[in-house]
Amino acid sequence: MARIIVSTSGKGGVGKTTTSAAFGTGLALRGHKTVIVDFDVGLRNLDLVMGCERRVVYDFVEVIQEKVPVHQALIRDKRVENLSVLAASQTRDKDALTPEGVERVLTALAEQFDYIVCDSPAGIERGAQLAMYFADDALVVTNPEVSSVRDSDRILGLLESRTRRAERNEERVRQHLVIARYDPVRVEKGEMLAVDQIQEMLAVPLLGVIPESQAVLAASNAGTPVILQDSADAGRAYDDIVARYLGEERPMRFVTAERGLLRRLFGSRA
Ligand X SMILES: Nc1ncnc2c1ncn2[C@@H]1O[C@H](COP(=O)(O)OP(=O)(O)O)[C@@H](O)[C@H]1O
Per CB under 6 A, residues contacting ligand X are 9, 12-18, 45, 122, 180-181, 210, 212-213, 216-217, 220, 234
Of 123, 137, 134, residue with least CA distance to 99: 134
- Contact string (CB under 5 A) for Mg ion, positions 3-22, x = contact: -------------xx-----
Are the beta carbons of 136 and 5 closer than 8 angstroms?
A: yes
Alpha-carbon torsion, ordered 22, 23, 27, 28, to 10 deg: -40
Taking CB under 8 A as the criterion, the residue among 95, 111, 161, 249 binding another protein is 161
Q: How far is the CB of 270 from Mg ion (least distance, A)?
A: 25
Query: Could you give the C-alpha distances from 197 to 29, 116, 149, 205, 241, in angstroms and in order?
Result: 33, 31, 11, 13, 20
Nearer to another protein, 230 or 258 (CB): 258
Q: How far is the CB of 222 from ligand X (least distance, A)?
A: 12
Nearer to another protein, 74 or 193 (CB): 193
- Contact between 157 and another protein by CB under 8 A: the answer reads yes
Taking CB under 8 A as the criterion, the residue among 55, 126, 154, 253 binding another protein is 154
- Contact between 168 and another protein by CB under 8 A: the answer reads yes
Alpha-helix residue ranges (DSSP H) falling in the chain: 16-29, 46-50, 60-64, 70-73, 99-112, 126-133, 146-161, 164-167, 184-188, 195-202, 214-222, 233-245, 261-266
Nearer to another protein, 92 or 146 (CB): 146
- Contact between 99 and another protein by CB under 8 A: the answer reads no
Of 169, 91, 130, residue with least CA distance to 8: 130
Q: How far is the CB of 100 from ligand X (least distance, A)?
A: 26
Q: How far is the CB of 41 from ligand X (least distance, A)?
A: 14
Q: Of the ranges 11-19, 61-69, 133-141, 150-158, which one interacts with another protein (CB under 8 A)?
A: 150-158
Write the CB contacts of 239 (distance below 8 Å, at least 6 apart in sequence).
26, 227
Question: CA 3, CA 6: separation in Å to the nearest integer?
Answer: 10
Taking CB under 8 A as the criterion, the residue among 81, 93, 125, 191 binding another protein is 191
Sign of the dihedral defined by the CA atoms of residues 167, 169, 171, 172, in that order: positive
* 168 interacts with, out of Mg ion, another protein, ligand X, none, CB within 5 to 8 A per kind: another protein
* 12 interacts with, out of Mg ion, another protein, ligand X, none, CB within 5 to 8 A per kind: ligand X
Instruction: Please state the separation of Cα 35 from the chain's center in Å.
Output: 12
Sign of the dihedral defined by the CA atoms of residues 233, 16, 91, 70, in that order: positive
Interface residue list for another protein (CB under 8 A): 145-146, 149-150, 153-154, 157, 160-163, 166-169, 187, 189-194, 197, 201-202, 264-267
